[in-house]
Amino acid sequence: MMKTFARPLILGSVAVLGLAACGKSTSEPGGESEIISRVTLTLTPPSGGAVITAYIDDPDGNGPQAPTAQVGALALTRGVTYSGAVRFENRLASPVQDITTEVRAEANEHRVFYTVTGTGVTVNTTDVDSQNRPLGLAFSKVLAASATAGSLRVVLCHYGSTSKVATATSCMGDTDVSQQFAFTVN
């Protein structure tokens, strides 16, 4: 019984749609969403030795797939103070977008926080925004005199509606990136 009336009804409905349909259905988001798909850490030794890099990819950005494991080992030498830089990219776009530039352009609304574990290892932010508050795209990493292993969490914090406070030690705004890198010191 259902079948017999279902078809004419669906056809009728289509006719109504035809009658005054003025929007063509579509799923095509316009504009550009902020996707960061790769976080790269670069550590440069002061003496001009080999530059050490590692990155974490998220193959679908904000999608439900988990980020991949860290690519590249951060094998560091004890007692050395490295100068570091972080880089955010959208590698899903073509050409690849460097989000780091956006963050620098909006330095007053952003800050990168570093949380480090590992005995005797410290990380200090070395750059500032236009109001002399820490920015964190560049940092120095001071290593212990003894061998250890640890982790470095990188949090890109976005201050949209909350105000950026120079003395803050953790993100009080919206988190745009939160990824953890492993490193070893020998």
| Least separation in angstroms between CB 171 and another protein | 7
Residue number, 101 or 119, with CB nearest to another protein = 101
Q: For residue 24, give Cα distances in angstroms to 7, 17, 18, 20, 69.
A: 23, 10, 11, 11, 42
24, 47, 145, 169: residue in contact with another protein (rule CB under 8 A): 24
Return the structure tokens found at 66. Answer: 């988990």
Sign of the alpha-carbon torsion through 24, 95, 152, 111: negative
Regarding 131 and contact with another protein (CB under 8 A), the answer is no
Closest CA to 45 of 74, 72, 70, 88: 74
Q: Which of residues 56-95 bind another protein (CB under 8 A)?
A: 56, 58, 60-64, 66-67, 92-93
Regarding 29 and contact with another protein (CB under 8 A), the answer is yes
Contacts 24+ apart (CB under 8 A), 65-72: 67/179, 70/181, 70/182
| Least separation in angstroms between CB 8 and another protein | 8
Contact residues toward another protein (CB under 8 A) are 1-3, 5-10, 12-14, 16-17, 19-37, 39, 56, 58, 60-64, 66-67, 92-93, 99, 102, 105-106, 155, 158, 160-162, 170-179
